Structure 1
Amino acid sequence: MKLNKLEFAVVSNPFADFLQGKTKARQFRLSLPKDAVALDIGCSNGSESKALLEYFSLKKLYAVDLDEKMIAIARKKIKNPAIVFEKGDATRLKYPANSFDVVFSFGVINHITEWKKCIKELGRVLKPGGYLVAEELSRETFRTPIGRIMKMLFDRPYDTMFGRDEFIGFLKQKRFRIIGYKKHYPMWTLKYFTVIAEN
């Protein structure tokens, strides 16, 4: 699901660049190989991808987004040969099995109607022992006062959206090992969760 005009404006500004950058990456502690290759799904304007590359000292990062306009912005904005920006669907990735040491998803999987298919696909492209690192909204997000306002403004597949426990349960069903999980509700504003799962 592509962003509507309001969501596009929200993620395409300098403040969003800051939030999507090192502030998100710093939430996570990972031990990755020195030559780690990563995938960032729903890369938006590329700011987050650049921060991930630098913070985790990645050898290569492939960054995909369903929106060609976002990919064009990212390519124009970030000139780094270690990052490859490509149009891509997270439920049907073109990469071979066992391609990546880590896959990042920041607020992306909750946009996807076929979210279970997406998780299966991420498991396919991850190497054995690779990590899925996700920060996600869920049904619980949109039950808070601010969440109810967001629900009126932002497009999401609300009818098929997962709950937190459902998401974690499906990861376990697909043989992911949960090595980090945290619920967030900063200043009673927006509920979300973060998870690190080993393939």
Structure 2
Amino acid sequence: MFMSDDALQIIKNSITSIPDYPLPGILFRDITSLLENAQAFHLTMSLLIERYKDQQIDKVVGTEARGFIFAAPLALAIGAGLVPVRKPSKLPRDTIQEGYSLEYGSDVLQIHSDAIQKDERILLVDDLLATGGTAGASIKLIQRLGGKVIESVFVIELPALKGAQKIHDLGVPHYSLVSFEGE
């Protein structure tokens, strides 16, 4: 597997931009077109696996819902457990929850209260970093359970929305494969 500007450009070019979705004024970055492109999806997963395969990660946490798409194969490939962070009333066991703001509203996320043990090494995975609300809430949930988030990883970052600062303020580094500036 190669990490080149060409690979990253293939990934970036496979992402469709949808204006005024889900609300007027939002430019939505649609990863379903990346998933439909076998080469782009393979490159995405290969780059993530290469980055994390030797980092002794105990669990990969994927955020609802598009984060699951990348978190599950990554966890399998690196030999880690998979933990879903979901919206309310989706998890059957005892949960803890955290509210957050996002680009176009607010919501709540939950995690099973026994999903992460003290000092486990956790990788947080989501498809997109915008305002950092979803990632920030997920990090807080993991930290409340005693997990150590070694990094948060995103396929896409929108730097203009300053989500990285929210993550860094929680003491967590982040990594993104591609970014779309100014949008």
Q: TM-score, normalised by structure 1?
A: 0.46
User: Per residue, is there more strand in 1 or in 2?
Assistant: 2
TM-score by length of 2: 0.49
